[in-house]
Structure 1
Amino acid sequence: MTITAVIMAGGKGERFWPKSRTHLPKQFLNISGSKSMIQQTIARLEKLIDITHIFIVTNELYAELIRAQIPNLPADNIIIEPIGRNTAPCVGLASLIIEEKFPDSTMVVLPSDHIIENDEGFIKILRTAVEVAREKDNLVTLGIQPTYPETGYGYIESTKQIQKVNDLDVHKVNKFVEKPDLETAQSYLDSGNFFWNSGIFIWKTDVIRNYIKQLMPDMHDVLETLKKAFQTDTDRNQLIRNEFYKMPDQSIDYGIMEKVSNIYVIPCVFGWDDVGSWTALDRINDRDENGNVIKGNILNLDTKRCIIESNGKLIATLGIEDLIIVDTEDVTLICTKDKAQEVKLLLKELRTQKLDQYL
């Protein structure tokens, strides 16, 4: 049984601006620990999957960063998208290339920029997910046990149909639901059968290709064109550039997962965080006696529940609460914590004012 992995690494991490930038996005930064987020993802996967079986889908801007940060990854395992088209085309293109190299493989699809504290628990769950995926051609996802009513995540609702596999509960999925408002999120938390959507999926390569054929025929046609062209033309990157623009801009959740019935979710508790915005630092770092997360050259008095990061120069604060202050070489961000999810609005304004040098 061959296990492969597809790491999605094309995002710009805009809610982590100004530290995450177009030329060096979040997944290539050291947010927590001694390695970048993508290096941590690779190291975690290598406890189960050989590096030659790990593929990274990214764009041309980041191919060199990947080669520099992960020098032992085979060059052919870097799959370059010419343009972002959401997760369905990413999965489709990767499945085509993997099916050619490893035709009987089971794919693990996951983001490049999530934190997982318990690697051993994660690998145990992945092994079980692979078993479930290979049984009756199931699709499997990992659901994070919610600990508070988060409105920034999608949710997965499970049914009462539960089986035990390797001492783990495996739930039949009822449906995927979009990001809720606070009241709805609280009802999900209270119900006990809703899980945060981790964006981690496991399935047999030929199974997901077959679902793409059934449910996303336009994308399937593009993939078949590429498959035939790959057999005769050695410049695969150019072929992908020529055809990828024809792909639909659609998520794998909407294109496949919301439309099929044989989906299972494994509830997980392994210290997961998607590090979606600056407020994630409250969850993944130690705080001082006043609830502050401090990094760098900081002097603070009467400062409470703030996230402050210095790039070298002294940041002095007095009498402030619930603020995010991030200083980089050319930009200083100051915003309230409740606006952390809206940092992308600043980037939109930068583009409007043609201040692209700060993006």
Structure 2
Amino acid sequence: MKIVIMAGGKGSRLWPRSVDEKPKQFLALTSEETMLQTTYRRLAGVMPSEKLYVVTAATYRPLVFEQLPELEGNRIITEPVQRDTGPCVALSALHFLREGDDEALVMMPSDQHVPNIVALFEALAKAESVADAAGAILTLGIVPARAETNYGYIVASESETLEGARKVVSFVEKPPLEVAQQLVSRSDVYWNGGIIVWKPSTIAQAMKEHQPDLWHRLELAGGHPEKVYGDLPKLSVDYAILEKARNLYTIPFRYEWEDLGSWSSLERVKEEDADSDGNIVQGAVHAFESTRNIIFAEGRRAIVIGAEDLIIVSTAEGLLICHKSKEPYLKAIVQQVEKKEGGVG
């Protein structure tokens, strides 16, 4: 199988550290390596590197080369502009189909924390065998570790299976806490990890059935997707295909997993690095009588006194002061502020 690492997102939930010019996948947030470098090199440790590809927006292509100089140019699939994961998956499938290559593809984000890479590879290999044998679409269903309101959920059948993979019954989008608490108490519910395994021909068939206009326009563009890509709809692959597909199954994954898309997710990964008061700090930070904060200072020192449960981030791009309980609103507020400032400009 081949793995296509998706590295084209913006990462607004990690503002002001993650910005349009250099979003989260190109930042060193949990170690000395960036998230893209960590994902690529962990995978290269369990499979041939020539089987690893990266799909990213044209504007980020130089960053990919800078951070992964070992990556050959023909293993970077370039989106002319950002158009969400639906068009991204279609473009990737066409890339391989034009080469007569129908080997199973793993489409996975670049910004996930999966320390047990061997267990991940074994789960992907199992999904690959089902995708090859049955022409099915496979997802990795993450066994929930807590009631999480920032993730989507997969409801799977406990009786209808295909070679050990469970049939997907429905999706639940980012539920309120009460609903999330009910979901995680069930044995048939998983987090939607956003990792999908399928053959390019299966993607083509699903696109023709559920998104025929999008697929037809990309096909007609041939080797020049820039002619049409900017006019394609911004659709997630979940909405474009997965929620409509009838041949969708999930492979349960019971190991540590974290989507590094928010400040609270970084806190969970770096929990062992907290000081005696439970603060996660990075940079020239001095915290006094302060507990359970996430504090990041870039380029200048920060002094924090008497703060509790805050996210405090200072960069050249801006300053964020946010109570942890309000973090779910950060992405929408950043978009609202950027829209307002753009309108003024």
TM tier, shorter chain?
Answer: over 0.9
| Equivalent-residue separation in structure 1 for 2:69 and 2:344 (angstroms) | 30
Q: How far 1:49 moved relative to its partner? A: 4.1
Report what 2:40 is aligned to.
42
CA 1:32–1:52 in structure 2 vs 1: closer, same or farther (change >3 Å)? same
2:263 to 278, 289, 307: 278
Q: Are 1:5 and 1:49, in contact at CA under 8 Å, matched by a contact in 2?
A: no
Give TM-score, length-normalised by structure 1: 0.89
| Equivalent-residue separation in structure 2 for 1:156 and 1:335 (angstroms) | 30
CA 1:346–1:174 in structure 2 vs 1: closer, same or farther (change >3 Å)? closer
Report what 2:246 is aligned to.
261
Q: How far 1:330 moved relative to its partner? A: 4.8
Q: Are 2:53 and 2:77, in contact at CA under 8 Å, matched by a contact in 1?
A: yes
**Residue 247 (str. 1) matches residue 211 (str. 2):** no
**Residue 217 (str. 1) matches residue 215 (str. 2):** no
Report what 1:203 is aligned to.
198
Q: How far 1:164 moved relative to its partner? A: 8.9
**Residue 70 (str. 1) matches residue 68 (str. 2):** yes
Report what 2:308 is aligned to.
321
| Equivalent-residue separation in structure 2 for 1:27 and 1:191 (angstroms) | 33
SS at match of 1:279: helix
| Equivalent-residue separation in structure 2 for 1:85 and 1:295 (angstroms) | 33
| Equivalent-residue separation in structure 2 for 1:126 and 1:350 (angstroms) | 39
**Residue 349 (str. 1) matches residue 344 (str. 2):** no
| Equivalent-residue separation in structure 2 for 1:251 and 1:294 (angstroms) | 34
C-alpha offsets along residues 253-294 of structure 1, whole Å, 9 cap, x if unaligned?
122212222221111133211112111122100222322112
C-alpha offsets along residues 119-176 of structure 1, whole Å, 9 cap, x if unaligned?
11111111111112112111100011112111111110011126596xxx53221112
Once structures 1 and 2 are overlaid, which stretch shifts more, 215-224 or 141-150?
A: 215-224
* Equivalent runs, 1:172-183 vs 2, <5 Å: 172-183=167-178
Work out the percentage of aligned pairs sharing the same amino acid: 36
| Equivalent-residue separation in structure 1 for 2:134 and 2:342 (angstroms) | 53
**CA-based RMSD:** 2.1
CA 1:356–1:270 in structure 2 vs 1: closer, same or farther (change >3 Å)? farther
2:166 to 163, 171, 174: 171
Gaps of 5+ in 2: none
Report what 1:234 is aligned to.
none
Q: Are 1:27 and 1:113, in contact at CA under 8 Å, matched by a contact in 2?
A: yes
Give TM-score, length-normalised by structure 2: 0.92
Q: How far 1:72 moved relative to its partner? A: 1.7
Q: How many residues align?
A: 342
* Equivalent runs, 1:1-359 vs 2, <5 Å: 3-101=1-99, 103-161=101-159, 170-226=165-221, 229-230=222-223, 239-285=224-270, 286=272, 287-344=274-331, 345-354=333-342
- Given residue 314 of structure 1, which amino acid in structure 2 is its aligned partner? R
SS at match of 2:125: helix
- Given residue 335 of structure 1, which amino acid in structure 2 is its aligned partner? C
Once structures 1 and 2 are overlaid, which stretch shifts more, 77-86 or 181-190?
A: 77-86
- Given residue 280 of structure 1, which amino acid in structure 2 is its aligned partner? S
CA 1:215–1:329 in structure 2 vs 1: closer, same or farther (change >3 Å)? closer
Q: Are 2:17 and 2:317, in contact at CA under 8 Å, matched by a contact in 1?
A: no
SS at match of 1:101: coil
Q: Are 1:103 and 1:206, in contact at CA under 8 Å, matched by a contact in 2?
A: no
Q: How far 1:326 moved relative to its partner? A: 1.2
